[in-house]
Amino acid sequence: MIIDGSADFRSLLAHHVTTHWPDATISDYDPTADGHLPDEFMGAGSDLVLLGDSHGDRDGIDVLKRFTRTGGFPAVLYFGPGYEKQAALKADAAGFFERDRLHHDALIVRIGDILAARERVASTGSLFVGDESIGLHPLIRGYRFVKKLSASTHSAVYLAEREANGEMMVLKVLSQVPDLSDGIGAFDRFLQEYELIADIDHPNIVRIYDLGVGDDHAHIAMEYLGGGDLKQRIREGIRTADAVAYFKQIASALARIHEVGILHRDLKPGNVMLRADGSVALIDFGLAKRMRLSLEITGQGEIFGTPYYMSPEQGHAEDVDARSDIYSLGVIFYEMLTGEKPFRAESALGIVYLHANAPVPLLPMRYASYQSLINMMLAKNPDDRLQSAAEVLEWL
């Protein structure tokens, strides 16, 4: 479907399409002569909408936003002046083209990519549903999607309600099928995350309830932690007693996963969630690995994690063990007490350098009783650190 106020421009777009797809069925609509499309318009029956910026008294970007926010609406390519590119992409257009500098080959390639993606989804027999507040998401039977919490390149996280008992859950959904060339590593790590922690029962580790694998997605159903994350709590300021309590609970969770041979490798405040009762739970084991494995899915020599919380050995892509998680926990404890990260720099490499070379920073005097603990956890050489989370708990 082609929508624009200029008959000549609609004809131009139709010509581009039919030159490559002679059997294409095209409908066009003039919003200036025929009036604006009603709010109930869903784009039904169209594989793709080509949307120009000419809409009379209505802004083209506003029209685009109305379409892309409608659940189940077809992909929309937007055509307008160059200065609207960022706004169009931010509004979730499937592509942007300058109206007065249209290149046939680029347009055909983008349309082809969109149609191929639609065919690939259809060929799997997957059911997708749309919701005004969530957007397009896979239909996972037994759950009602409430809202999207976050999204990354390979996965999205949703708040959902289990239909059987009304319990709120979190669904982490891998958005790529395992046989896609760029999805293999992500898919393997996704399944590994479930396998590593599904059998662990610990009050400070997120509870995993279910794993589902379909033709074009996999999902993990896990406990909903409604108290926000530790990152936000640090930003608001944490009382010393609460910081110590959180610290003990995280250390207890680390002791448990290390006991069964698991490293977290991405310990940071954003991966520590709080329950409504104030207890904390460790989440996101996507970078975790079993210490006994000789080969890592991520490959040798690659650096994964967050530089602010990386141990010196992890930042230099060296072999890591439980003492690397101990270092990360020390960074978190320092940040909970002071509200500041121990090392800052203008680049990730600068932060990695400071972790390996800068002296351990001094806590403010009111926290002096914890300086020895910080020194023992942030030692540059793993041999000089506390050697386990159990030792950390014993020291406290």
Across residues 254-276, what is the average pLDDT?
88
CATH number where 17 lies:
3.40.50.2300
Across residues 75-92, what is the average pLDDT?
94
As a whole number of angstroms, the distance between CA 379 and CA 386 comes to 9
Regarding beta strands 48-52 and 75-80, do their DSSP bridges make them parallel or antiparallel, or are they unpaired?
parallel
At 112, the amino acid letter reads: G
Across residues 89-115, what is the average pLDDT?
90
As a whole number of angstroms, the distance between CA 57 and CA 114 comes to 30
Out of 88, 123, 158, a domain closes at 123
pLDDT digits (tens, 9 = 90+) for 301-340: 333 446 889 899 888 877 888 899 999 999 999 999 999 9
Across residues 251-264, what is the average pLDDT?
88
Out of 123, 149, 164, a domain closes at 123
Q: Can you give the pLDDT at residue 288?
A: 54
Calculate the alpha carbon distances from 176 to 30, 128, 183, 220, 282 in Å. Answer: 37, 14, 6, 14, 25
Look at residue 180 and tell me whether its pLDDT is greater than 60: no
Residues 7, 36 share a domain: yes
Nearest by Cα to 371 from 380, 381, 360 = 360
Residues 80, 142 share a domain: no
133 pLDDT tier (thresholds 50, 70, 90): very low
**Annotated catalytic residue, options 229, 266, 284, 325:** 266
Residues 313, 340 share a domain: yes
Across residues 176-193, what is the average pLDDT?
53
Out of 191, 223, 255, a domain closes at 223
pLDDT digits (tens, 9 = 90+) for 193-249: 667 677 788 999 988 887 776 655 678 888 888 888 899 999 999 999 999 999 999
* For the chain, percent of residues with pLDDT exceeding 90: 40
The beta strands (E) that lie in 17-105 are given as: 28-29, 48-52, 75-80, 95-98
Strand order in the sheet with 168-174: 143-151, 155-162, 168-174, 218-223, 208-213
Nearest by Cα to 225 from 255, 249, 241 = 249
Total domains in the fold of the chain? 3
Beta bridge partners of 257: none
Residues 178, 57 share a domain: no
Q: Could you count the other beta carbons within 10 Å of the beta carbon of residue 386?
A: 22
Residues 311, 237 share a domain: yes
Burial label, 67 (beta-carbon count in 10 A; 0-12, 13-18, 19+): buried
Q: Can you give the pLDDT at residue 186?
A: 58
**DSSP string for residues in 144-177:** EEEEEEEE-SSEEEEEEEETTT--EEEEEEE-S-
Residues 110, 213 share a domain: no
Residues 133, 20 share a domain: no
The SS3 call for residue 274 is: strand
Do the Cβ atoms of 84 and 54 come closer than 8 Å? no
Do the Cβ atoms of 256 and 200 come closer than 8 Å? yes
Q: Can you give the pLDDT at residue 122?
A: 44
- 2-16, 104-118, 213-227, 360-374: the lowest-pLDDT one: 213-227
Between 23 and 91, name the one with better pLDDT: 91
**Ramachandran region, residue 339 (left: φ > 0; alpha: ψ -120 to 50; beta: rest):** left
Between 228 and 50, name the one with better pLDDT: 50
Is residue 62 among the annotated active site residues?
no
Q: Can you give the pLDDT at residue 155?
A: 67
Residues 187, 252 share a domain: no
Size of the chain in residues? 396
Highest mean pLDDT, choosing among 84-93, 152-161, 185-194: 84-93
Do the Cβ atoms of 67 and 96 come closer than 8 Å? no
Look at residue 23 and tell me whether its pLDDT is greater than 90: no
Between 292 and 22, name the one with better pLDDT: 22
Between 103 and 300, name the one with better pLDDT: 103
Look at residue 163 and tell me whether its pLDDT is greater than 50: yes
Quote the mean pLDDT of the chain.
81
* Domain encompassing residue 137: 129-223
- 132-146, 268-282, 330-344, 348-362: the lowest-pLDDT one: 132-146
- What phi and psi, each to the nearest 5 degrees, are found at residue 98? -70, 125
CATH number where 188 lies:
3.30.200.20
Residues 292, 175 share a domain: no
Residues 244, 152 share a domain: no
Between 135 and 288, name the one with better pLDDT: 288
- What phi and psi, each to the nearest 5 degrees, are found at residue 14? -60, -40
Across residues 180-203, what is the average pLDDT?
65
Residues 170, 311 share a domain: no
Between 200 and 365, name the one with better pLDDT: 365
27 pLDDT tier (thresholds 50, 70, 90): confident
Nearest by Cα to 307 from 258, 273, 267 = 267
Q: Can you give the pLDDT at residue 161?
A: 87
Beta bridge partners of 172: 157, 220
pLDDT digits (tens, 9 = 90+) for 7-21: 999 999 999 998 888
CATH number where 321 lies:
1.10.510.10
Residues 101, 239 share a domain: no
